[in-house]
Structure 1
Amino acid sequence: MAGETEVAAAPELALADTDINWARLDKTRFHVIGAILFTAQQALLHPTTVVKTRMQVSDPEFSRLRAISVFRSILRNDGIPGIFRGFGTSAVGALPGRVLALTSLEMSKDMMLGYTEHIDMPEASRIGIANGVGGMLSNLISCVYFVPLDVISQRLMVQGLPGTTHYNGPFDAISKVLRTEGFRGLYRGFGLTSVTQSPASALWWGTYGTAQHVIWRSLGYREDSDKRPSNLEMVSVQATAGMVAGACSSVVTTPIDTVKTRLQVMDDYGAGRPSVLKTAKVLIEEDGWWGFHRGFGPRFLNMSLYGTTMIVTYELIKRLSVKQQG
């Protein structure tokens, strides 16, 4: 999916105000502030992830409930801790992965800007290409770290449901997965995740760039105009475009996410190692083709909110991390 990446290029009028490159950042402040703010963002959105995951993995009757009904059911049975299952593992575990993702993103973006410096193309296109390549490489690199983390945190979210195993915390989950499936068990769904995240990221950023361009033009901004946007306008346009991108991306990627989630957490597929085809077959048998869109409502909400808050949060982090001029 879309990762935590640099804001895609707005029309050239806004580039001077929005583009803060890797060389201008205080790296320590960047990672510390990023860890704090992105963990807070993750905490706000985690309940929607739990609801989505439960709906994708549970039996067909439960999965057909409305998302709000599933949310109430979790609260009724497990209380507040139920809607934050797996959060500690996900949040703490994500800290080193986030450093890896953000560093690889910014460095690869800067490298692409250097490679295209002497190519005759609009500056907005150069920055857009650099952002896209940076996001793609960052996703591929971070998959190596984040897939095992997803496997463990998602197993903690759904334990207790039919076909799942009970765990006494993340280390017990890691131990049981390694004992029953070996190291490969921690990388269930890795191929599907790595192969699909790159086009999903391209879709996200493509939609984001298009939406932002349309919004800027509808507000009367043109590349040849001296009119400058205010900070409030920039944040509003970025947030709106991010929400649109997240919503559009969720429509296309939910079927893949459903298969990936079930592949990573389910243990009841009979003899042999779980596979994408076996997982898809079980989904169709249980719920028809609609089964691939299990959890669409909370995923749509999660990705829409994520797109909005990620863009605003990331831009704030970079502004707060600019090196002080001495």
Structure 2
Amino acid sequence: MEDKRNIQIIEWEHLDKKKFYVFGVAMTMMIRVSVYPFTLIRTRLQVQRGKSLYHGTFDAFLKILRADGVTGLYRGFLVNTFTLISGQCYVTTYELTRKFVADYSQSNTVKSLVAGGSASLVAQSITVPIDVVSQHLMMQREGNTMGRFQVRGSPEGRGIVAFGQTKDIIRQILRADGLRGFYRGYVASLLTYIPNSAVWWPFYHFYAG
């Protein structure tokens, strides 16, 4: 059976940087818009006590829709979009690190291992604080909250959470926990994503080769 591997490895210098950043952000945004309501629902289901508020995914979807409208499914979305930066930083860090390590080793395994781990370190350092804030915003219900903090209601009564409410959350996190409050779960994230990324990329290059 013919081996159809030998996939061309695209290095940093081969990339069209303009297309990479523009199309990368655009595609990620489209995916994020599609899945964000289910991320919000999952987060609320995980933190509620038993079935005190929602009896399942479909029940949560309908209740949020009735109480807050479509925009209720996108609470914290504007803040969460800043994590798009981390995706671009991940790939940029990965490619630049591979290029740097290439000066010391030509082994794809070594380059991929170091670059994958470094890329996840950078990405999670950006993502975790944004996730902490956006998840607190996800917990806000109309006139109520499921989380530790509660923001002031928007004058319109409904709608996507304004950046004024984001400032409320940031201030409350700072008062309660200091800067460390923005990095709750940071170590757990690093222990999850760094090994995963560091191992995945060498296997990719092994298969591609």
TM-score normalised per structure 1: 0.51
Could you tell me how far apart the structure 2 residues matched to 1:143 and 1:179 are?
23
Relative distance call for 1:172 and 1:12 in structure 2 (3 A) is: farther
Q: How does 1:225-236 map to 2 (within 5 A)?
A: none
What one-letter code is carried by the residue in structure 1 that aligns with 2:120? Answer: N
Where does structure 2 lack aligned partners over 5 or more consecutive residues? 153-164
Structure 2 residue 90 is the aligned partner of structure 1 residue 101: yes
Post-superposition CA distance 1:141-191 (Å, at most 9, x none): 222221110100000001234443222421221122112322121112222
**SS of 1:59 mapped into structure 2:** coil
CA contact (8 A) 1:56 1:63 kept: no
Structure 2 residue 44 is the aligned partner of structure 1 residue 54: yes
Could you tell me how far apart the structure 2 residues matched to 1:131 and 1:23 are?
16
Q: 1:102: how far off? A: 2.1
Over aligned residue pairs, what C-alpha RMSD do you find? 3.0
Match of 2:17 in 1: 27
Post-superposition CA distance 1:77-109 (Å, at most 9, x none): 222112111111111x22433332221022123
**SS of 2:149 mapped into structure 1:** coil
Q: How does 1:50-199 map to 2 (within 5 A)?
A: 50-62=40-52, 65-91=55-81, 93-112=82-101, 115-117=104-106, 126=108, 130-159=111-140, 160-168=144-152, 169-199=165-195
CA contact (8 A) 1:35 1:95 kept: yes
* Equivalent residue pairs, number: 190
**SS of 1:60 mapped into structure 2:** coil
Relative distance call for 1:75 and 1:15 in structure 2 (3 A) is: same
Could you tell me how far apart the structure 2 residues matched to 1:69 and 1:129 are?
48
Q: Which has the higher contact order (CA 8 A, sep 6+)?
A: 1
Could you tell me how far apart the structure 2 residues matched to 1:49 and 1:202 are?
26
